[in-house]
Chain A
Amino acid sequence: MIPYNFTFLSHPKICSGLKALEHIPFELESLNARKPLVITSNRWDKKGLSKTLIKALYDSNIIIGALFTNAPFYPSVTIINELSQLYRDRGCDSIIALGCGGVAYIAKAVNMVVSLKTDILQCADITITSPLKPMIIVPTADCQGGEMAAIAYYERFEKQSDFLYPDVIVIDSRITRHANSQEVANSALTALAHAIEACGIDAPNPINDAYAHTALQFIYQYLQRTIKRPSYKDGSVAIVNAAACADTAFSNAPQGIVHVLAQVIALDTNLQAGMVMGILLRYYLADKLHTKGGIRPELLLALAGIDTYAKTPEKERQKTAYEYLIQCIDTTREFVPATLKGLNIPRYKLKEYARLAATKNKQYKESAYMELLEKAWEGK
């Protein structure tokens, strides 16, 4: 049954698979751009990814305005200002972010600065009303969540706007297969948490669900093999696609309790948010299973396919979906402990995290945050 009303927006075009990089010139030209600023990190540059990207642009009319290979993990005002200046000095007209995490966050922030012609700190208070400069993301498989969503993180700010979606997401196995198992696990868990939280909301949104379900399907199918062998081409492409779909679903839903808590904890502990999400998700799902509404049975359809879904009695579907999801989380066991205690997070810190989360996102009460944290810490 179609819901009474819902909204959905997914702006980016996804080019995925064989020779996806070679699509970039065409995509840039159709966005009316010719001179991109390419941003990447030292690590990816050393692995030769920037060379691979440049090679893909050889026989085209694209001129690289500047190649910045030293993007740090932290999107600071200093680096954003520096790169914005570089963009202007070189007369660039678009941005390509080669990598996830800091690279993508910095690229989005630079895009805001150069498009809105203002200072990065002013951006927090400005409502973006028109499209920004063309932007392409070429993600690696170390997604931290939000890179391909309608959100930008910089310094300690978080800005949401429909115009913050990248224009094109280029997912190519020559790029994605370089992450390690731990990074793949983190990416998958982030996508899993975002997808589940996006389709677990009270107001149903069938199109958003479709995106979330696609993410779940990819993760269930490919996670195990990709964690074992991160260079597995199809697997790494599938995980990044899952991240892209989950990010879109995440952009069209309110932020969930797992996401908010994981961000707060990651900020304080230097841990990867995906790892924390994986732990929290296990207890969030267990909780959800026993509450009214519970886990949506359709998740089983996404995870296990039509045959299993049809075979499972209606009453059992929630529980079976839960088991499938836990199975996904368990796949990352080698890299992600089962409890927050296992991450050596001291118990006395939980209160502070619950308080910070409640200030950040008022949708849940401090007690609700605390309850989930306690469970995840103790493993109950």
Chain B
Amino acid sequence: MQEIIGTSNKVIEVDLSSQSYREIPIAEKDLELYLGGKGLGLKLFYDRVPAGIDPFSDENEFIVMTGVYVGTGAPCAGRFAAVTKSPLTGLMGTGSCGGPFGMALKTSGWDGLIVKGKAKSPTYLVISSKGVEFKDAKKFWGKDTQTVQKALEKEGSGALVIGQAGENKVLYANVCSGHRFLGRCGMGAVLGSKNLKAIVAKGNEFKILPKNPKKFDKARKKTLKFINRNQITSILYRQFGTNANVNLSNAGGILPVRNFTGGSHGEAHKISGEEMAERFDTKFSTCKPCAILCGHKGNINGEIRQIPEYETVGTFGSNLEIFDPVAISNFNELCTKYGLDTISTAVTIAWAMEATEKGLIKTDLKFGSPDNIEKTITDIAFRRGFGDDLANGTRKLSQKYGGADFAINVKGLEMAAYDPRGAWGQALSYAVANRGACHLSTASFAVEVYLNMHDPFSLKGKGSMIAFIEDVTCAINSMHICQFTAFAVELEPFVVKYTPTFLLNPMITYLNPIATKFMDVSLWPEMWSGITGKRMGMFKWIKAGRRIHVLERYMNTREGISRKDDTLPQRFLTEGRHCDPQQRTVPLDQLIDSYYKARGFDKNGIPKDRTLKRLKIEKK
């Protein structure tokens, strides 16, 4: 088998319109500045695609970048990133997926893939080190993700597939790889608009080796040690999956209940990871390779199924007041088949339930009742009847029918399963996140509520804390490694681990951003450095993360984003909750001011020229 030392530094560009392809080199300088994965994907998009294009036009590009870690044996690195312009938000859409496609693409000799143009008829691609084959996908059109993946198994070791939702351009259709997804921002609809049903990568053609094996191995082993020592990664998530979050969120008052009107519920334990592990006799079913092992499958009604993740359980479960894990699993299976983002689907259904209750629309949907939900999911995927409207997401629905105050989205992207009123850092993070109400932009709820490292209701230090976590997260998603490794890498080093919480909390709250300077996140850049052979210190690495985040923001400001869009649904700004005796709402304006200051944005949320210059971002 041939070898790639470090990275291949080339991506393959496929033009669907002319059925041609070519190799594009990646500049060494760009790799250093943008690290790989999401960062490089964004940089490529920025250089190649003008602002203001229609996400469904031929000009829109779908870029997949594998990152530096994948294939090297780095823990939890079987991941890849995708970048496109989202039809749901009209902004940059990015995603991270742990399916087998990333590994297959990288071991076919490509660091990434760019798809542009539009195929005349349904097509699928087979990519190998030799190039690209354009194949007729008519026989797959109209088929679900699982059937198509199965049929394509022989053509390569990893595939990206869309379901019927993507074909019908449901604005939040996802892209499936194995049993993992590029879930958010409607990437499936972009592929559907390009008549592209699937992309298969042959894989197993190259071996990926680090340039400096000794350095890499040292950092890798230490990371593994931390992962196996950390309570969250080695016990909580490993045993109960992400659904371990249910009980934590419920206790912390951030579990969404009844379309985000409440933050905890007496029946929540029924859908918790602990309960499901026992009831469904769960086994590991994870991204590969992975050392944390958060993904699980289990025996549900005599069928071996993937256990729904926390976001699915929170949004389809407590948020619809459904506490039957079997029903939630049924919804999850349907979304998987049709290729629908579970978060957006469920939050849109929650909107429909509340709008029905309030008399704005007429449907058979009711909180607490699983009846009609499966039919609604099918209607959405096929854009049938009212499903055609639901397929456009909560923002467009509320523009047409009213109910914007309970249309739970930011910038058009539906919110994940953490109520921002219970963690103001998370509230700020949702409001300013580049792709919309994204929980992965910082996952600050964990710092504030699960780990109690930052007072969830303090205004102090929130702006700089969120900016810091965003930088680190962007860097993580560009290496590319699972975000859950952050629990181990950030919390296990000596200073954080052995400082008692009663000291750590005020330090992070009142001494931020100084406190963040003491956080040791050097393991990640060390592994990157070991693989590429390039020098990468911790601060340079964090700066690269900042560069990626600010570039994405700048790209979004070219699409019209400014302070007016950095907001939350009215519900979070004006309505208190029963679970909070103080009936707190989010004081967003003050939070945003401190964030813009920490970020180097002007009062209107636009990156200042000097900020761009400092980060070596060329203004266009």
Interface residues of A (CB under 8 A from B): 70, 72-74, 76-79, 119, 121, 154-157, 267-271, 341, 343-349
Q: Are B559 and A70 in contact (CB under 8 A)?
A: no
Q: Are B52 and A346 in contact (CB under 8 A)?
A: yes
Q: Are A270 and B565 in contact (CB under 8 A)?
A: yes
Partner of B574, one of A72, A341, A343: A72
Shortest Cβ distance from residue B555 to the other chain A in the assembled complex, whole angstroms: 11
Q: Are A77 and B358 in contact (CB under 8 A)?
A: yes
A-B contact pairs, 17 of them (CB 8 A): A70-B574, A72-B405, A72-B570, A72-B573, A76-B403, A76-B570, A78-B406, A78-B575, A79-B405, A155-B401, A155-B404, A156-B401, A156-B402, A268-B399, A343-B560, A344-B52, A349-B90
Q: Are A269 and B560 in contact (CB under 8 A)?
A: yes
Give the docked Cα–Cα distance between A354 and B403 (Å): 23
Give the docked Cα–Cα distance between A77 and B403 (Å): 7
Residues of A within 8 A of B560 (CB): 269, 343-346
Please, what's the 1-or-0 string for B554-581, where 1 marks a CB less than 8 Å from any CB in chain A? 0001111100110100100111000000
Give the docked Cα–Cα distance between A211 and B564 (Å): 33
Q: Are B53 and A74 in contact (CB under 8 A)?
A: no
Partner of B402, one of A157, A270, A271: A157
Shortest Cβ distance from residue A264 to the other chain B in the assembled complex, whole angstroms: 9
B516 within 8 A of A: no
Give the docked Cα–Cα distance between A347 and B90 (Å): 12
Shortest Cβ distance from residue A294 to the other chain B in the assembled complex, whole angstroms: 33
Residues of A within 8 A of B304 (CB): none
Closest A residue, CB atoms, query B565 = A270
Q: Are A156 and B358 in contact (CB under 8 A)?
A: no
Q: Are A344 and B559 in contact (CB under 8 A)?
A: yes
Give the docked Cα–Cα distance between A72 and B557 (Å): 26
Closest B residue, CB atoms, query A122 = B359
Q: Are B570 and A270 in contact (CB under 8 A)?
A: no
Residues of B within 8 A of A348 (CB): 52-54, 57
Shortest Cβ distance from residue A140 to the other chain B in the assembled complex, whole angstroms: 18
Give the docked Cα–Cα distance between A283 and B359 (Å): 40
Please give 15 more A-B residue pairs, beta carbons under 8 A apart, in addition to A74-B570, A344-B560, A346-B54: A72-B405, A72-B574, A73-B570, A76-B404, A76-B406, A77-B403, A155-B401, A155-B402, A156-B398, A269-B560, A270-B564, A270-B567, A343-B560, A345-B560, A346-B52
Give the docked Cα–Cα distance between A77 and B398 (Å): 12
Residues of A within 8 A of B567 (CB): 270
B511 within 8 A of A: no
Give the docked Cα–Cα distance between A236 and B213 (Å): 71
B613 within 8 A of A: no
Q: Are A78 and B402 in contact (CB under 8 A)?
A: no
Shortest Cβ distance from residue B60 to the other chain A in the assembled complex, whole angstroms: 10
Given the interface pairs A72-B570, A271-B564, the reply to whether A346 lies near B403 with Cβ below 8 Å is no
**Cβ < 8 Å to A, chain B residues 31-88:** 51-54, 57
Q: Are B399 and A344 in contact (CB under 8 A)?
A: no
**Cβ < 8 Å to A, chain B residues 396-436:** 398-406
Residues of B within 8 A of A119 (CB): 359
Given the interface pairs A76-B570, A271-B564, A347-B52, the reply to whether A121 lies near B403 with Cβ below 8 Å is no
Shortest Cβ distance from residue A124 to the other chain B in the assembled complex, whole angstroms: 10
Q: Are A155 and B90 in contact (CB under 8 A)?
A: no
Shortest Cβ distance from residue B589 to the other chain A in the assembled complex, whole angstroms: 9
Shortest Cβ distance from residue A211 to the other chain B in the assembled complex, whole angstroms: 31
Given the interface pairs A70-B574, A346-B54, the reply to whether A155 lies near B403 with Cβ below 8 Å is yes
**Cβ < 8 Å to A, chain B residues 315-363:** 358-360
**Cβ < 8 Å to A, chain B residues 456-499:** none
Q: Are B402 and A77 in contact (CB under 8 A)?
A: yes
Closest B residue, CB atoms, query A347 = B52
Residues of B within 8 A of A77 (CB): 358-360, 402-403
Residues of A within 8 A of B561 (CB): 344
Residues of A within 8 A of B399 (CB): 156, 267-268
**Cβ < 8 Å to A, chain B residues 191-243:** none
Give the docked Cα–Cα distance between A340 and B221 (Å): 55
Give the docked Cα–Cα distance between A154 and B359 (Å): 14
Give the docked Cα–Cα distance between A270 and B565 (Å): 7
Give the docked Cα–Cα distance between A119 and B357 (Å): 13
Give the docked Cα–Cα distance between A349 and B358 (Å): 31
Give the docked Cα–Cα distance between A348 and B560 (Å): 13
Given the interface pairs A72-B574, A73-B570, the reply to whether A344 lies near B402 with Cβ below 8 Å is no
Residues of A within 8 A of B575 (CB): 78
Residues of A within 8 A of B406 (CB): 76, 78
Closest B residue, CB atoms, query A70 = B574
Q: Are B54 and A155 in contact (CB under 8 A)?
A: no
Give the docked Cα–Cα distance between A345 and B558 (Å): 9
Residues of B within 8 A of A73 (CB): 570
**Cβ < 8 Å to A, chain B residues 147-201:** none
Give the docked Cα–Cα distance between A154 and B358 (Å): 14
Give the docked Cα–Cα distance between A270 and B400 (Å): 15
Partner of B558, one of A157, A344, A347: A344
Q: Are A78 and B53 in contact (CB under 8 A)?
A: no
Residues of A within 8 A of B358 (CB): 77-78, 121
Residues of B within 8 A of A347 (CB): 52
Closest B residue, CB atoms, query A264 = B399
Give the docked Cα–Cα distance between A78 and B398 (Å): 14
Given the interface pairs A76-B403, A76-B404, A78-B406, the reply to whether A121 lies near B52 with Cβ below 8 Å is no
Q: Which 3 A-B pairs have the closest CB atoms?
A: A155-B402, A344-B560, A348-B54
Residues of B within 8 A of A155 (CB): 360, 401-404
Shortest Cβ distance from residue B601 to the other chain A in the assembled complex, whole angstroms: 16
Given the interface pairs A76-B405, A121-B359, the reply to whether A346 lies near B53 with Cβ below 8 Å is yes
Q: Are B57 and A74 in contact (CB under 8 A)?
A: no
Shortest Cβ distance from residue A60 to the other chain B in the assembled complex, whole angstroms: 31
Residues of A within 8 A of B57 (CB): 348
**Cβ < 8 Å to A, chain B residues 265-288:** none
Q: Are A78 and B405 in contact (CB under 8 A)?
A: yes
Partner of A74, one of B360, B401, B404, B559: B404
Give the docked Cα–Cα distance between A155 and B400 (Å): 10
Residues of B within 8 A of A267 (CB): 399
Residues of B within 8 A of A269 (CB): 560
Partner of B557, one of A154, A156, A344: A344
Given the interface pairs A343-B560, A344-B559, the reply to whether A156 lies near B400 with Cβ below 8 Å is yes
Residues of A within 8 A of B401 (CB): 155-156
Give the docked Cα–Cα distance between A289 and B586 (Å): 49
Residues of B within 8 A of A341 (CB): 52
Residues of A within 8 A of B558 (CB): 344
Residues of B within 8 A of A70 (CB): 574
Given the interface pairs A343-B560, A346-B560, the reply to whether A76 lies near B402 with Cβ below 8 Å is yes
Give the docked Cα–Cα distance between A271 and B565 (Å): 9
Q: Most chain-B CB neighbours within 10 Å: which of A70, A121, A156?
A: A156
Residues of A within 8 A of B53 (CB): 346, 348
Give the docked Cα–Cα distance between A210 and B561 (Å): 40
Closest A residue, CB atoms, query B412 = A268
Closest A residue, CB atoms, query B575 = A78
Residues of B within 8 A of A270 (CB): 564-565, 567
Shortest Cβ distance from residue A71 to the other chain B in the assembled complex, whole angstroms: 9
Shortest Cβ distance from residue A182 to the other chain B in the assembled complex, whole angstroms: 10
Give the docked Cα–Cα distance between A270 and B570 (Å): 13
Give the docked Cα–Cα distance between A76 and B405 (Å): 6
Give the docked Cα–Cα distance between A269 and B402 (Å): 15
Residues of A within 8 A of B574 (CB): 70, 72, 79
Closest A residue, CB atoms, query B411 = A270
Residues of B within 8 A of A154 (CB): 402
Closest A residue, CB atoms, query B395 = A268
Q: Are B90 and A74 in contact (CB under 8 A)?
A: no
Shortest Cβ distance from residue A341 to the other chain B in the assembled complex, whole angstroms: 8
